[in-house]
């Protein structure tokens, strides 16, 4: 995408740098950080800036989806966790508007979504807020790939007023995903799963470059339903499918598309429900498909074993419940064992990879499902478009 990176910054010594990070991390019941993976992801960029002698790093992130200024979504604990990882103080700032910033090396602003202008649908309101944030620093750095498909003030407005660059993590993710879809090693196999039909656009965009696309999750049964199969009580995004009926037909007829031939079904969405394996033409009323069956796993794994590039977006089944995790686990293991370039996208998929202890075996576990899917769909990420050379 011809982006401006940290290495393009002419001088960092003595500069104030505003870094938009994604520290939208899970918290426990006491507000402590339960998983610091996203915080760790930003550490190399922060350390790079410190090593270059910047005078101050100003960090901001969203946390959850606040409707008001909920205390449990304040960034105090996040700042503490970052300080532990860096081995130095990170000063949390509640109000930077009136009093300005303290004379600290690293400061973290309050949850950026406490400010309604951050997500305003009116561009001028976002830009005015972005201008206020830009006044705090000399340079802007985007280290929030997972939010780069959003037109938010801290993503797209700040770099209108001060020079903007991408952080080391964003650079790595964009390079890996771009290479995988623009000049992939063949065969390229994509695994696409989930519930919502919005992934149909990504599947359609991958058809010209992929050799095979393996469909799982509720999305697979959406497509089987359109072919005339009874899917019982399996969740289906009927409205989404209808909205994209023109490309759904093309996808369903493509020889590159692989759908399940058998399924693990249950009579309730419950770990203790009655469970059985059936062919996909044997799903009865009152039953729901919650995983792919053993024959489908064997076929999918065989295809993955031949791949040189693998993209995986979405767990294959309801892996959080033990009776329905085998598909996701076996597909994940096959991808991890592959010699292919392997790119994992989306929070749920990353969560599954982590659960089965496969993270370190993947080429890239992307921090952003929505952002990476947007790239695969061939659309430009707004927060990166403003940072082009």
Q: What confidence tens digit (pLDDT) does each residue in 21-46 have?
A: 999 998 888 888 988 989 999 999 99
> Residue 230: pLDDT above 80?
yes
Q: In this predicted structure, what is the pLDDT of residue 1?
A: 61
Give the confidence band of 242 by pLDDT, cuts at 50, 70, 90.
confident
113 and 220 in a single domain? The answer is no
In a domain, 178, yes or no: no
CA 342 – CA 2 distance, rounded (Å)? 23
Quick one: 288 and 247 in the same domain? yes
Both 163 and 193 in a single domain? no
pLDDT one-digit tens code per residue, 60-89 = 999 998 887 788 899 999 999 999 999 999
What's the chain's average pLDDT?
92
pLDDT tens readout for residues 167-221 = 999 999 999 888 888 888 899 999 999 877 678 888 888 898 899 999 999 899 9
Tally DSSP H helices, then E strands, for the chain: 13, 15
Closest by Cα among 59, 66, 61 to 22: 61
Catalytic residue among 52, 151, 160, 196: 196
- 196 catalytic? Reply is yes
Output DSSP code: residue 5: B
pLDDT for res 197:
67
- Whether 55 is covered by a domain: the verdict is yes
Q: Lowest-confidence range among 54-58, 162-166, 172-176?
A: 172-176
For 343-373, write each residue's pLDDT tens digit.
998 778 988 999 999 999 999 888 777 888 8
370 a catalytic residue: yes
113 labelled catalytic: no
Query: Considering 112, 136, 171, which residue would you say is the last residue of a domain?
Result: 171
Same domain, 205 and 163: no
Q: What is the pLDDT of residue 255?
A: 95
Number of domains the chain is built from: 2
Does 386 reside within a domain? no
Cα–Cα nearest to 196, from 175, 174, 166, 221: 221
Q: Catalytic one among 64, 83, 240, 347?
A: 347
Q: What is the Cα–Cα distance from 258 to 191, expressed in whole angstroms?
A: 9
Determine the Cα–Cα distance for residues 154 and 19; give it in Å rounded to an integer: 9
Q: Do 282 and 288 contact (CB within 8 A), yes or no?
A: no
Q: Which of 149, 171, 193 is the last residue of a domain?
A: 171
Same domain flag for 152 and 275: no
Based on the fold, state whether residues 158 and 230 are members of the same structural domain: no
- Domain check: are 252 and 301 in the same one? yes
pLDDT tens-place string over residues 79-128: 999 999 999 999 999 888 777 899 999 999 999 999 999 999 999 999 99
Q: Answer whether residue 161 shows pLDDT above 70.
A: yes
Let me know if 34 is a catalytic residue: no
Average pLDDT over residues 316-325: 95
Same domain? For 211 and 305 the reply is: yes
Find the catalytic residue in 64, 83, 240, 370. Answer: 370
Q: Are residues 200 and 127 in the same domain?
A: no
Look at residue 222 and tell me if it is in a domain: yes
Eight-state DSSP code of residue 153? I
Give the integer Cα–Cα distance in Å for 258 and 33.
39
- pLDDT above 90 (res 138): yes
Residue-wise pLDDT tens digits, 268-288: 999 999 999 999 999 999 999
Which band of pLDDT confidence, cut at 50, 70 and 90, is reported for residue 149?
Answer: very high
**E strand map for 330-377:** 341-345, 364-365
At 114, list the tokens.
């406490």
251 belongs to a structural domain:
yes
From 15, 38, 126, 150, the catalytic residue: 38
Residue 179 lies in a domain: no
User: Distance (Å, rounded) from C-alpha 363 to C-alpha 336?
Assistant: 9
Domain that holds residue 214: 184-375
| 239 & 103 share domain | no
Cβ partners under 8 Å of residue 10, min gap 6: none
Q: Which residue has the higher pLDDT, 57 or 377?
A: 57
**Is residue 385 domain-resident?**
no
3-class secondary-structure state, position 302: helix
* 314, 370 contact by CB (below 8 A): no
Q: Decide which of 145, 171, 197 is a domain's last residue.
A: 171
Are residues 317 and 206 both part of a single domain?
A: yes
User: Does residue 111 sit in the same domain as residue 235?
Assistant: no
Q: Does 108 map to a domain?
A: yes
Q: Is the pLDDT score of 156 beyond 80?
A: yes
**Which domain CATH number covers 128?**
3.40.50.1260
Lowest mean pLDDT among 133-147, 206-220, 239-253: 239-253
What is the reported pLDDT for 240?
A: 72
């Amino acid at each position: 995408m011809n982006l401006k990176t940290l290495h393009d910054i002419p001088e960092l010594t003595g500069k104030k740098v505003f870094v938009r990070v994604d520290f939208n991390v899970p918290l426990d019941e006491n507000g402590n950080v339960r998983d610091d993976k996203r915080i760790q992801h930003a550490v190399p960029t922060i350390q790079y800036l410190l090593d270059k002698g910047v005078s101050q790093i100003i960090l901001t992130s969203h946390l959850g989806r606040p409707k008001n200024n909920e205390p449990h979504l304040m960034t105090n604990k996040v700042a503490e966790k970052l300080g532990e990882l860096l081995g130095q103080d990170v000063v949390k700032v509640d109000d930077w508007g009136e009093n300005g910033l303290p004379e600290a090396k690293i400061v973290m602003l309050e949850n950026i979504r406490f400010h309604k202008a951050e997500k305003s649908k009116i561009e001028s309101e976002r830009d005015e807020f972005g201008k206020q944030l830009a006044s705090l620093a000399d340079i802007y750095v985007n280290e929030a790939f997972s939010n780069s498909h959003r037109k938010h003030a801290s993503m797209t407005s700040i770099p209108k007023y001060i020079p903007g660059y991408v952080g080391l993590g964003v650079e790595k993710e964009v390079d890996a995903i771009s290479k995988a879809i623009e000049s992939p090693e063949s065969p390229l196999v994509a695994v696409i799963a989930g519930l919502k039909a919005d992934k149909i656009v990504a599947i359609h965009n991958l058809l010209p470059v992929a050799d095979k696309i393996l469909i799982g999750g509720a999305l697979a049964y959406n497509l089987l339903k359109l072919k005339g199969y009874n899917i019982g009580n399996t969740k289906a995004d009927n409205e989404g499918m209808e909205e994209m009926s023109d490309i759904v037909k093309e996808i369903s007829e493509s020889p590159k598309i692989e759908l399940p031939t058998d399924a693990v079904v249950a009579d309730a969405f419950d770990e203790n429900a009655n469970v059985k394996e059936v062919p996909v033409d044997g799903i009865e009323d009152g039953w729901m498909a919650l995983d792919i069956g053993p024959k489908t796993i064997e076929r999918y794994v065989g295809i993955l074993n031949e791949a040189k590039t693998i993209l995986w977006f979405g767990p294959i089944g309801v892996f959080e419940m033990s009776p329905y995790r085998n598909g996701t686990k076996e597909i994940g293991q096959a991808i991890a064992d592959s010699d292919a370039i392997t790119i994992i996208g989306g929070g749920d998929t990353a969560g599954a990879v982590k659960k089965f202890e496969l993270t370190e075996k993947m080429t890239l576990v992307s921090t952003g499902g929505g952002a990476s899917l947007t790239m695969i769909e061939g659309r430009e990420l707004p927060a990166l478009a403003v940072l082009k050379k």
